Amino acid sequence: MMIDITIDSAINEDMPRIKLFWTGGFDSTFRMIQLSRFNVIVQPYYLADYQHRNSIKNELEAIKVISEDIKNHPETKFVMKPLIIVDVKDIGSDEIIKASHQRLFQEIALGSQYEWLAVFAKNHQGVELSLEKGRLQKYFETVAAFSKHSVGGVSFQVIDKERSSEDVVNIFGNFHFPYPVSELTKLEIVEEYKRLGFGEIISKTWFCHNPVKNEPCGVCTPCRQIVEKGMSFRISPSGMKRYKTDQKYRKKVWFIFFKKIRLKVCGY
């Protein structure tokens, strides 16, 4: 499935090509904006996890609206290819990746999405993945090494396969990691958005996995992180109320059960 958001510029076949995941969220949208200033051809992919996300419609809508803004910005140079939407069920599996993912799940509770992301990257070498500063990066400090590269002025990092653990190489070895996105804090990225003339786009990005009445829920992982990283201005008053209730009771056993039921019944 494709959404036609091609930016009309003459395609020069010698231009570097960059593949990346675009969720319509804060980090990957920032990368799109960074890339828009380079003479490159960009192919965005949206991997749709219909089983675990209630936010696909919101994310695709955000991508559509933001694409127009990038397209209309006077300093946009890149060629944006139409968004390719892939159902995660169609990505397939890989025994080596599956085994490595299982080990990393045991060790650091690595999210299930990294298994299909890794299979996708094996078939789409060099696709960019925006990694957030945090737990995973902390883990990488002990078991992985990176090398920095640049193509057409665009910088990225790759896993150094000689100096990283086998499981890390199997899961993360085929990605490019945008540089310096992962070095920046959320608030530093906000400043960068503004510097590039896209400060207003931040409110158009989408992050919540389980929207309530088309607004961020306040209690899913990305909503919680948004609040914890100083960006609670992005959550509505009713979302913040849910956030505060969750924080108050989060360690109570009954509340953990209540949350499971709430997710099933209310969808957040």
Binding site for Zn ion (CB under 5 A): 208, 216-217, 220, 223
Q: How far is the CB of 209 from Zn ion (least distance, A)?
A: 6
Q: What would the two tokens of residue 236 be?
A: 């509505």
Contact assessment for residue 145 and residue 163, using Cβ atoms and an 8 Å cutoff: yes
Q: How far is the CB of 248 from Zn ion (least distance, A)?
A: 17
Distance CA 9, CA 12 (A): 9
Cβ proximity to Zn ion: between 88 and 235 the closer is 235
Q: How far is the CB of 224 from Zn ion (least distance, A)?
A: 8
Q: How far is the CB of 64 from Zn ion (least distance, A)?
A: 20
Q: How far is the CB of 252 from Zn ion (least distance, A)?
A: 21
Cβ proximity to Zn ion: between 25 and 216 the closer is 216
Cβ proximity to Zn ion: between 63 and 220 the closer is 220
Q: What is the DSSP string of the chain?
A: -EE------PPPTTS-EEEEE--SSHHHHHHHHHHTTSS-EEEEEEEE-TTT-S-HHHHHHHHHHHHHHHHH-TT--SEEPPEEEEEGGGS---HHHHHHHHHHHHHH---THHHHHHHHHHHSTT-B-PPPSSHHHHHHHHH--EEEEEETTEEEEEE-GGGS-HHHHHHHTT-BEETTGGGS-HHHHHHHHHHTT-GGGGGG----SS-BTTB--S-SHHHHHHHHTT-GGGS-HHHHHHHHHHHHHTT-HHHHHHHHHHHHHH--
Cβ proximity to Zn ion: between 112 and 221 the closer is 221
Tokens 């945008």 locate to 178
Cβ proximity to Zn ion: between 63 and 217 the closer is 217
Whether cis (ω within 30° of 0) applies to the bond prior to 237 is no
Q: How far is the CB of 125 from Zn ion (least distance, A)?
A: 33
Cβ proximity to Zn ion: between 96 and 263 the closer is 263
Cβ proximity to Zn ion: between 71 and 186 the closer is 186
Q: How far is the CB of 220 from Zn ion (least distance, A)?
A: 3
